[in-house]
Amino acid sequence: MRLIARFCIENEENFEVCTLFDEKKEVLYLDKENPTIKSIARQYPAAVWFERKMHDDFGILIEDAFNNRPLIHHERFPKLHPMRKAFTAKVVTDAPFKPYKYEHIKGNSVFEVAVGPIHAGIIEPGHFQFSQSGEEMLHLEVRHFYTYRGIEKMLEGKTLQEAKPIIERISGNESIAYQIAWFQIVLEAGGSAYHDSLQQYHAMLLEFERLIHHVTDLGFIPNDAGFSPALAYASKLAEETRRMLEVLTSHRFGFGAVDFEAKPYDKEAVLAFVQKLEEALLWFENWIMDIPSLWDRFDTTGILPTEKAQKYGCVGVMSKASGVKVDRRDARLYHDSGFVLCFEKDGDVSARFKVRLQEVHNSLIMIKAFAGAKGEMKEPDVLRDGDYVAYTESSIGELCLFVRLKDGKIERFFARDPSFINWQALHIMMPGNIIADFPLINKSCDLSYAGNDL
């Protein structure tokens, strides 16, 4: 079984711990006076962050945990659990500084290199702690959650419509994907079926979002191997695609795009744009494929073995490049429109680059098939109380949303971005590579900080 998420819900009488797998859901109820649960991280390594987050958010004690350090509670975070119902403060006071205990690799000539959390590039904060022997990386520890936005708490008590502008802004790279997951939950709570025509329209927007993200990465990956012309060319194509998304949705990031009525658009303009982009990308691919020195940097760099990708439950390009075939688009709607599950087996930078190339071409095929789709639906009058889960294949991978509705309002909101899983497997790729290859390996995964740091 593949672990998808593990999270806590506070009820009036107890704490409820939900563990989502790809095949089933497990629920355990804990006493509020002494909330303790056994760790599953030895069997499912990606459970580590979920369990550490449960402790920080709710005060759940994790038995048999091999890592019980704070996750979102940084050095001056006060001793409180912000997801508990009793916590209502708008301002908190910093606690005395308490050093974070990083993992240490011992040995002669071993030293540590700290990168971040503030970076030279325009990216969000994230810390990377390397253990080195000369240039060779021995170990990497990833530490994030510097931007704790309190989104899960913020959405409690709101209606799904009131929550939408926040949900669609969780991660700019995945705005359409988050909106589609939100839409699925609204339909399920309202007892409505997703009309095929509107679903195809939304799928077209999702593939445009995927194009923007993948094409950007296809430029950045060679750039981090020292070939900046690729970034200049791909950035131009990505910008043109983002402008096309703005034409379709009235916003460069597609905010407000997914709703009960398709926005009017010109089918022929979409097809003409796709044809032009397809020709430009074919030229780009032929150009990049014919640079041996670039592939010398890509090949065998940052390998994520298949068994590790499976064990950590990785999703998206990271999993597919390691031969693990997980994609939420593996369904009739997409298959009828030309979807092919793209994958490689080597698990290195080359494989992740090639999967992106394949997915870009496949997205263009599907957009051609979806072009012209429109449609509208009646918004449900009443949303039934209950638990709802939705999945979308974002440009980074499988995205999961959970919502519990009570009296028509959000009682508990939980989002598991694909990056929350994938960041935990990044360290596996480092040993045997030099530290100068870290930006290249990291960019080949291109994970979200915003989607990760809720």
pLDDT surpasses 90 at 427: yes
pTM to 2 decimal places? 0.96
Cα gap 200→182, rounded to integer Å:
16
pLDDT score, position 413: 98
pLDDT surpasses 80 at 121: no
pLDDT surpasses 90 at 119: no
In the chain, the percentage of residues whose pLDDT exceeds 70 is 100
> Which tens digits make up the pLDDT trace of 338-389?
999 999 999 999 999 999 999 999 999 999 999 999 999 999 999 999 999 9
pLDDT band at 70 (very low <50, low <70, confident <90, very high): very high
All structural domains of the chain: 1-101 (no CATH), 104-146 (no CATH), 157-445 (1.10.645.10)
pLDDT band at 91 (very low <50, low <70, confident <90, very high): confident
pLDDT surpasses 90 at 123: no
Considering the chain, what is the average pLDDT of its residues?
96
pLDDT band at 305 (very low <50, low <70, confident <90, very high): very high
> Which tens digits make up the pLDDT trace of 230-247?
999 999 999 999 999 999
